[in-house]
Each structure stands twice: as C-alpha cells, then as structure tokens.
Amino acid sequence: MTEAHPKYLWWNGRQMPWEDATIHVTELGWSTVGAIFEGIRAYWNPEQGEAYIFRLREHMVRFSQSMKLVRLRQDYPTEQLIEAIIQLVRDNNHREDVYIRPLAYRSGGGKSLSGFSDEASILINTRPNPSHLLTGMVQHACVSSWTRISDTVMPPRVKNMSNYRNGQLAAMEAATNGYDTAILLNAQGKVAEGPGACLMLVRNGRLITPDVTSSILESITRDALITMAREDLGIEVIERPVDRTELYIADEVFFCGTAAEITPIVSVDRYPVGDGTPGPITRRLEQLYHDVLRGIDPRHAEWRTPVGLAQVAATAD
Ligand SMILES: Cc1ncc(COP(=O)(O)O)c(C=O)c1O
C-alpha cells in the first residue's frame, strides 16, 4: 500500500472513500465523551499471502457490550460489522500488520455533554501497524500516583473512550519522570493494569494476573494468554488480587494487550525485574503468541479470521 492512508473506511452502513467521510469541526470534543471503541489487529503471513484478524468475533462482542453499557443503540448487527471489517481490510489491500478501530459515538441529542440520546454512529478505519513481537522491545515502569478508575466511577471492563484520560494521565506522569510506562493501582491499592494493557507476573514458575474485578479491561489478549499458558505450555495460571510489592520481587513482569501484544517490563520503580531482562516464561509465551497470531502455528485456528487476500491474489493470477 503506497497511499498515506488506506483507500476506504466504513461509516454508518457503507464502505466509502476515505476522503468522503467528513464532519464539521464544531463536532470536535462532543462526540468522543460518549464514545466507545475496539482495538483489533490483523497479522500478515507472507508465506501464505494472507492476513489473519485476531479474535474478531470476541472483539465485536465486547464492542456490543461497551455500547450497551453506555446506552448507545446498536443499529448495525454484529454480523454486519464483522463482514464490513473483513471486506475493509481486504479492499484496502493490507498486505502487512494492521490495526482496526471500530468506534461508536453518540450522534443524537444535540451538543450537550449531559444530553442523552441513544442514537449512535459507527466508524471503522484501518491503518498499518507493525508488530513489535520478537523485536526485543522492553519497558521500564513506575507505579503511578494516579489510581485506576473503579467500577463505581466509570466501567473499566469495557472500552469506554473517556476511561483513557485516566491511563493518559498515568502515562504522561511516567514519561515526565523518565519511565517508559506506568502501572496503576486500583481503589483497593491492588495492582490493576497499565494505561492500555493488562499485566501478568511470574513467581516461582506460576503465571499470576489480577482478576477481572480488579478494575481492569476484560482483555481478549489476557484471556488468550491464559488459555495458551495452561493448555499449550502447561503453566499454572492464577487470577487473584496482586499486591504492589509483588511487582518488586517478581521473577518476570509483562504487559499484554492488542496494542501492547507482549511487552516485557524489565524494571518497576527502578527495582530490576528478575535479572533485568525478559524471563523464560515471557519469551516462550511471546514466541507462541507470535506464531499463533500469524497462523505459523496451526493451533487455535478459531481465533484467526482470514481476510481473503490469498484468494484475491489467486484470482488475479
Ligand atoms: C486499558 C486497557 N487494558 C487492557 C487492554 C488489553 O485488552 P485487549 O487484550 O482486549 O486488547 C487494553 C487494550 O488493548 C486497554 O486499553
């Protein structure tokens, strides 16, 4: 793909040229307060000439749950949105790793922050987004002085756009203080997650991760890694509240998520994690996750939706 942006996006029921999807500048600010979104990745497999969307259905089920929770009406059925995404990635001819962002925003009820209407618009756009898996990327983290939003404030378990101000404040504080990223504690003082990723740690060969009532997003990557650790690698996984000081004595710590993929954390508050390099369980999971995402490892085929680019190429020959 040579253009600065993809050829098409999908907006309110139809795929259209990127340039044609415009709204007036005075809409700025209003729409996103009431918005929810999804972050999905497709991974390119050069040998097969195919791109695979990872856990597309699960992401779109969560999209519906997010809409429901913030009282947005979903006028386009999930099946239609799934088909729209597959076609969009195919027609944009993304022969590369891609980020796919479906977004639902409040489009009725006038320009009032407190106004209420369940009318929603849906936008889906795609952009190239190379994976950093197996590149050796690591991060140094601090525990943030900001507390993770709790379920009594805003719903952390869904992808509510406004939630991201909380993570953004933590990320900005971390950067200002010379760290790569932040880890937020929840209102109970237990470890929650990062600004845009869930967290896992390893202690004595066991994988430990905050449970889904710890003020975390119900992460699809977290769920996949738990399954792969248990079923494919035979590693014990424990979901439970996690103390801050466990981060300081853990053997391994890493972030996981669609954007974060697997990102090893090599220090927390300048305490080295393990020997200060990614540990063996992190590296095994990273290799397996990479191979499953791209369809190099045939396991978990139900998680991969082929876009149909191999078919397009075969037809063109
Ligand atoms: C706050 C937050 N936590 C966790 C995650 C990981 O969720 P998922 O694996 O579903 O992408 C994300 C998104 O990537 C996120 O924004």
We report the CATH number of the domain holding residue 255 as 3.20.10.10
Nearest CA to ligand 1 atom 3: 197
Distance 20 CA to ligand 1 centre (A): 30
Domain residues for 251? 139-277
Assigned domain for 294 exists: no
**167 and 270 part of one domain:** yes
Assigned domain for 160 exists: yes
* Cα four-point dihedral sign 224, 225, 226, 232: positive
Instruction: Label the pairing between strands 304-306 and 40-45.
Output: unpaired
Q: In angstroms, rounded to a whole number, what is the distance separating the alpha carbons of residues 249 and 258?
A: 27
**160 and 271 part of one domain:** yes
Assigned domain for 293 exists: no
Assigned domain for 283 exists: no
**117 and 172 part of one domain:** no
Assigned domain for 164 exists: yes
> Residue for token digits 């950067």?
175
- The token pair at 280 is 């063996």
Residue 120: CATH number of its domain: 3.30.470.10
Atom of ligand 1 nearest to the CA of 216: 3
Assigned domain for 264 exists: yes
Nearest CA to ligand 1 atom 16: 196
Q: What is the count of structural domains for the chain?
A: 2
What pLDDT was estimated at residue 110? 72
- The token pair at 163 is 């939630």
Given 7, 68, 111, 159, the catalytic residue: 159
**25 and 60 part of one domain:** yes
Alpha-carbon distance values, 100 to 42, 58, 85 (Å): 8, 14, 8
Q: In angstroms, rounded to a whole number, what is the distance separating the alpha carbons of residues 168 and 290?
A: 27
Residue 1 has pLDDT above 50, yes or no: no
**108 and 176 part of one domain:** no
Q: Is the CB of residue 201 less than 8 Å from the CB of residue 246?
A: yes
**84 and 192 part of one domain:** no
Nearest CA to ligand 1 atom 11: 258
Q: Is the CB of residue 210 less than 8 Å from the CB of residue 190?
A: yes
**Residue percentage of the chain with pLDDT more than 70:** 97
Distance 68 CA to ligand 1 centre (A): 18
**49 and 125 part of one domain:** yes
**151 and 262 part of one domain:** yes
Q: Is the CB of residue 104 less than 8 Å from the CB of residue 37?
A: yes
> Residue for token digits 């393990």?
274
- How much is the CA Rg of the chain, to the nearest whole Å? 20
**175 and 256 part of one domain:** yes
Active site residue 111: no
Half-sphere exposure of residue 293: CA atoms within 13 angstroms, side-chain side? 27
Predicted confidence (pLDDT) per residue in 82-110, tens digit:
999 999 999 999 999 999 999 999 888 77
Predicted confidence (pLDDT) per residue in 124-171, tens digit:
999 999 999 999 999 999 999 999 999 999 999 999 999 999 999 999
What pLDDT was estimated at residue 70? 93
pLDDT band at 114 (very low <50, low <70, confident <90, very high): low
Which of the listed residues 166, 184, 221, 285 should we mutate to test ligand 1's pocket, taking the one with most ligand atoms within 8 A of CB? 221
Predicted confidence (pLDDT) per residue in 116-133, tens digit:
789 999 999 999 999 999
Distance 311 CA to ligand 1 centre (A): 32
Which of the listed residues 158, 161, 193, 198 should we mutate to test ligand 1's pocket, taking the one with most ligand atoms within 8 A of CB? 198
Strand partners of residue 223: none
Atom of ligand 1 nearest to the CA of 259: 14
Which of the listed residues 217, 262, 289 should we mutate to test ligand 1's pocket, taking the one with most ligand atoms within 8 A of CB? 217
Assigned domain for 2 exists: no
Distance 160 CA to ligand 1 centre (A): 11
**12 and 117 part of one domain:** yes
Q: Could you tell me where the DSSP H helices lie in 177-305?
A: 220-231, 244-249, 280-293
What pLDDT was estimated at residue 108? 83
Strand partners of residue 45: 50
Instruction: Label the pairing between strands 252-257 and 198-203.
Output: antiparallel
Task: Say whether 201 sits in a helix, a strand or coil.
Answer: strand
Distance 237 CA to ligand 1 centre (A): 19
**70 and 15 part of one domain:** yes
Site residues for ligand 1, CB cut-off 6 Å: 39, 167, 193, 196-198, 217, 219-222, 257-259
Q: In angstroms, rounded to a whole number, what is the distance separating the alpha carbons of residues 160 and 172?
A: 20
**14 and 75 part of one domain:** yes
**Residue percentage of the chain with pLDDT more than 90:** 89
Atom of ligand 1 nearest to the CA of 195: 1
**Residue of 82, 85, 104 lying closest to 8 (CA atoms):** 85
Distance 299 CA to ligand 1 centre (A): 23
